[in-house]
Amino acid sequence: MTSTTIKIIKPHSERSFADDVADIWAHRELLMVLVRREISVRYRQAVIGLLWVVLQPLLTTAIFTTVFVVFVRIPTQEKSYPLFAFAGLAVWQYFNRVVTEGGGSLLANSALITKVSFPRLIIPLVSPLAAALDSLVAISALIVIAILVGASVSWTIVFTPVVIAAVGLFGYSIALWVAPLNAVYRDVGIALPSIMQVAMYMSPIVYPAELVPERIRWLYELNPIAVMVNTMRWVVLGTNAPPIAGLGLFLVLVVLLFWGGAQLFRRMEGNLIDRI
């Protein structure tokens, strides 16, 4: 920071988006500190620490494998259902955490935002960044397991960070809507877990898209969550690429959600602490 800075505090409606972006940049160090706090607190006092990042989707994969492969006997495109499910769950768990934690972040940090001034847009940005590490570890574990069980791993795995970033950005865009609304209307936070559960079962995370009737499958595959999950499977496991239309729609949706979310967030943040 420079030694002479002039700051003008204006009514919130008079602030420009450029002001906010510059403000976030000026506070990048704080963002990193908050991300580091999130990461180091999460597995503090947990004996096996970061191993949980891998164990969680692994356990869930085991459950779904038992249910779908042993009991229900669903047909899968892949030879290995566990790899298929693990990839889906790793992506889903990251997305779910970004939306849920990001969406609850303003409320969870109300002690901070009522006492210290910094751009509020930073707050829901902490979860996507902190959880990205977990996500990267989980996907790396997936790759290792895939190699161990002899599945073919495509060169496209170099794109996994890009996919993780896209998932994080999508989650952040949604969190921008959820966080301020949730701070004022608690209904949002209460409804969110149910909505996320519906979204999970409406997407090919633990079961393959082939189970969906062919008539509506095209629609089903446009679902942005399906696109994210299938893209991850595509880059890591070399399964079928998601439809171009789905990718295009995903991009449009991210842009719209991000833009709209940023507008809403900025409109609400000015007087948020008076209403929280």
Partner 1 sequence: MSKAIEVRGVSKEYFRGVHHRHTRFSELLTDWGRGLIGGKPRNNVARREVEPFWALKDVSFTIERGQVVGIIGRNGSGKSTLLKIIARITAPTTGEVILNGRTGTLLEVGTGFHPELSGRENVFLNGAILGMSRSEIARKFDEIVDFSGVEAFIDTPVKRFSSGMQTRLAFSVAAHLDPEVLIIDEVLAVGDAEFQKKCLGKMKDVTSTGRTVVFVSHSMTTVTSLCNQCVFLEHGEIRAHGPSHKIVDLYFSDGAGSGPALGFGKEAARPGNDIVQLCGARVVNSKLEGVETIRRDEIVGIEMTFEVLRDGHRLVPNFHLFLQDQYAFVSSPPDSNEVLGRGTYRSRMWIPPRFLNNGSFVVGVAVSSTAPVTIHFFEQDALRFHVIDDLFDASRNDYIQEFPGVVRPDLRWDVVQEK
Token representation of residue 167? 């998932």
- Closer Cβ to partner 1, 39 or 91, answer by number: 39
Total residues found in the chain within this entry: 276
Residues 18 to 47: which contact partner 1 by CB under 8 A? 29-30, 33-34, 37, 40-41, 44-45
**Least distance in Å: CB of 276 to partner 1?**
9
List Cα–Cα distances, 207 to 47, 64, 153, 260, in angstroms.
33, 9, 21, 32
**Least distance in Å: CB of 16 to partner 1?**
14
What is the spatial distance between Cα 60 and Cα 55, in angstroms, rounded to a whole number? 8
What is the spatial distance between Cα 82 and Cα 266, in angstroms, rounded to a whole number? 43
**Least distance in Å: CB of 172 to partner 1?**
21
Contact letters for partner 1, residues 180-209 (x by CB under 8 A): -x--xx-xx---------------------
DSSP secondary structure string for all residues of 28-53 = HHHHHHHHHHHHHHHTTT-TTTTHHH
Token representation of residue 154? 């495509």
Q: Does 270 bind partner 1 (CB under 8 A)?
A: yes
Member of 16, 66, 117, 263 binding partner 1 (CB under 8 A): 117
User: What's at 137, amino acid-wise?
Assistant: V
- Closer Cβ to partner 1, 22 or 67, answer by number: 22
Binding site for partner 1 (CB under 8 A): 1-12, 29-30, 33-34, 37, 40-41, 44-45, 111-118, 181, 184-185, 187-188, 270-271, 273-275
